[in-house]
Amino acid sequence: MSDLAQRRDDVVTPTQDDETRKVRYRGGGFSPKPRAFIAPIVFLVLVVIWEIGSHFGLIPPIVLPSPSEVLQALKDLVQSGLLWKHLSASLYRLIIGFTCGTILGLAAGALIGLWSYPRAALRPLVAAIFPIPKIALLPLFIIWFGIGEGSKVATILFGSFFPTVIATYGGIDAVDRSLINMGQSFNLSRWSIIRKIIFPSALPAILNGMRISASISIILLVAAEMIGAEYGIGAYVLLAGNLMSTDQLIAGVILLSILGLVVSYLISLAEQYFLRWRK
């Protein structure tokens, strides 16, 4: 009893005259939060400044047409039915080239990632061809496949093939060995290990590669369409430039921006769906 009492006396209590302050919080910041309303405001403000500038002649129309003129050009494009013609020609090339390039790239990447001989044979080849800007091959493709659709699709195919190959075998190389060992220790077949362990492990890397190859594909699409194409967004932009009609030119550029955004949105959707286990 007296022991306890003794101890209570020893407890240190803050004395009144000491200054009491709360510990200052210093853990915040460095984590940008979504602010959804900012982006439309910035966009709108820029467009309004641009319109006003054009209206009062601060921006010469030959340098940059006003937003309303660009809008008018877009409207003309829709009303004349040319929009769909240009867009469908471009989408056709992009989809065929990108899809074939990606499928072939996945196959070649898997070969390199999984088997020794294809790896020894193909990896140096891929390493040698990958850094060539594929636009430089366009004249060659025109000689090989003709000025028509063939050369355009081939350029896009080539452009999306190599990043996919590299992303795929890179992803396979990085698969956690212990998971493969686990599969083997449970007697899973080789095919099961590839399908259920290796492929899902490599998928984040593969989707990342697709993001890169998609943007490369759009660049190559426009470049290819600037050489000998009747229809296509690239052809439209080139023609507008030749005619110095900057309103149409800007309209075409806006279409390209929308195309790029849509493609990257689709890939984000794929990521959200296939990688939902990550979070």
Chain residues that interact with another protein, rule: CB under 8 A:
178-179, 181-182, 184-189, 192, 196-197, 200, 277-279
Q: Tell me the closest approach of the beta carbon of residue 277 to another protein, in angstroms.
A: 4
Question: How far, in Å, CA of 76 to CA of 70, rounded?
Answer: 10
DSSP E strands: which ranges in the chain? none
Tell me how long the chain is: 279
Our CB check for another protein shows the closer of 35 and 279 to be 279
Q: Are 79 and 256 in contact (CB under 8 A)?
A: no
The residue among 156, 150, 160 whose CA lies nearest residue 229 is 150
Whichever of 91 and 180 has its CB closer to another protein, that residue is 180
CB 221 within 8 A of CB 134: no
Closer CB to another protein, 117 or 277, in the complex: 277
The CA distances from residue 192 to 60, 198, 201, 211, in Å, are 64, 9, 13, 27
Q: Which is nearer to another protein, 21 or 279 (CB)?
A: 279
Quote the least distance from Cβ 186 to another protein, whole Å. 4
What is the nearest approach in angstroms of another protein to the Cβ of residue 223?
Answer: 38
Q: Which of 101, 129, 93 is nearest to 226 (CA)?
A: 93
Least Å distance, CB 74 to another protein, is: 43
Judged by beta carbon, residue 157 or residue 175, the one nearer another protein is 175
d(CA 85, CA 98): 20
Find the shortest distance in angstroms from Cβ 187 to another protein. Answer: 5
To which residue do tokens 């091959």 refer?
Answer: 137
Q: C-beta of 279: minimal distance to another protein in Å? A: 8
Quick one: 30 or 277, whose CB is closer to another protein? Answer: 277
Q: How many CB atoms lie within 10 A of CB 92?
A: 15
To the nearest 10°, the Cα dihedral for 55, 58, 63, 69? -10
